[in-house]
Amino acid sequence: MKIALAILAAAALGFPFVFRGPYPQHLAILVMLYALLGSAWNLLGGFAGQVSLGQAIFFGAGAYTSTLLAQHAGLSPWVGMIAGALVAGALALAIGYPCFRLSGHYFAIATIAIGEIAGIAVTNWDFGGGAVGLFLPVGTEGLLSFQFHRSKLGYYYVLAAMLLATLLLSAWLRRGRAGYYWRAIREDQPAARSVGVPALRFKQIAIVLSAALTACAGTFYAQYVLFIDPGSVLPLSLSIQICLVAVLGGVGTVIGPLLGALVLVPLSEATRVLLGGSGRSLDLVVYGLLIMLISVFEPAGIAGIARRLGLTAR
């Protein structure tokens, strides 16, 4: 596990020196963004077993909070990122308290419902730019202002650091008491509660952490693209993609979401580059087919293949 992480970290550090073009670097940023989002989902959906299909709310909360704070109060995106994480955490508490009474599919559908409500609400929210969206003020380049115009390297390393921190946090949580409590809740909640696991409190911890990390990724996205609208940061399809990355990588493993993103993002880009462009969506036909094939032949995700090859320990 440690060796695998070290190799990955070294690969991530060296990648921009081997691939100097903007497109490979953009691809790597997308991979890391989805790996981060998938890892955040995994805390809640993988470790604690509460399948959320509404992660876009937290992503949107991060993107909108930091953007609105920058536009109206001139605050640094880094302050905005913390504020966004706090907003998302508060939203998560408010969502978790009633929804954690629901189990299985009922919880998943409830998160879809809340996500759709958020999407519609923001689309009709004039102060937040409504359906038109918000353009970020273009400022000076630099780490402090969280904008890099001349090359993508700045974004690349900021995101790599964020992802590394998330993976370490995730590994630490999994080994610790929270990890054991979450697994107990996931496997059998009544049994876990009967031996004194405070189920609601630990599910709340999972959703708040998951939301805060997702919101940080949302702020990163806003700074990277410099434009946000409900269609790009709040759609149901984003929530599903996030979940898909974690599931195809391997649910409940630390490295799974990263593996999932490493396979899924280049796959979707490759089909788009090779087959897209005709405007007839042949790329998505192939993409859908591939998702079916992976679900059928490798239901435990890519981490399952890695485990069989002896690359990672369980």
Partner 1 sequence: MTCELVAQALVSGLLAGFVFALIAAGLSLIFGVMEIVNFAHGEFLMLSMYLSYFLNASLGWDPLVALPLNAVALFLLGVLVYYALIRRVLRAPMLAQIFATFGLSVFLQNLAQFLFRPDFRMVATTMATGRIALGGVFISRPQLVAAIGAVLTTGLLYWLLTRTETGKALLATAEDRQAASLMGIDPDRMFALSWGLGAACVGVAGALLSTFYYVFPQVGGIFALIAFVAVALGGFGSVTGAFLGGIIIGAVESLAGVFVAPAVKNIFVFAIYLVVMLVRPRGLLGKQ
State the residues that interact with partner 1 by CB under 8 A.
Answer: 51, 98-99, 101-106, 109-110, 112-114, 116-117, 120-121, 123-124, 236, 240, 243-244, 247-248, 251, 280-282, 284-285, 287-296, 299-300
CB closer to partner 1, 29 vs 286: 286
CB of 44 to partner 1, least distance (A): 13
**What's the half-sphere exposure (Cβ side, CA atoms, 13 Å) at 152?**
22
CB of 8 to partner 1, least distance (A): 24
Tokens standing for 299? 């239901």
CB closer to partner 1, 153 vs 284: 284
Cβ burial of 13 (10 Å; 0-12, 13-18, 19+) is: exposed
CB closer to partner 1, 123 vs 145: 123
CB closer to partner 1, 110 vs 211: 110
Question: In angstroms, rounded to a whole number, what is the distance separating the alpha carbons of residues 94 and 54?
Answer: 14
Cβ burial of 71 (10 Å; 0-12, 13-18, 19+) is: middle
CB of 196 to partner 1, least distance (A): 23
CB of 22 to partner 1, least distance (A): 28
CB closer to partner 1, 109 vs 138: 109
- Using alpha carbons only, how large is the chain's radius of gyration in Å? 19
CB of 178 to partner 1, least distance (A): 21
Residue burial 255-287, b: 16+ Cβ < 10 Å; e: rest: bbbbbbbbbbbebbbebbeebbeeeeeebeebb
CB closer to partner 1, 48 vs 216: 48
Query: 3-class DSSP state for residue 95?
Result: helix
Q: Which of 146, 10, 131, 29 is nearest to 76 (CA)?
A: 146
Cβ burial of 314 (10 Å; 0-12, 13-18, 19+) is: exposed
CB of 121 to partner 1, least distance (A): 7
**What's the half-sphere exposure (Cβ side, CA atoms, 13 Å) at 57?**
28
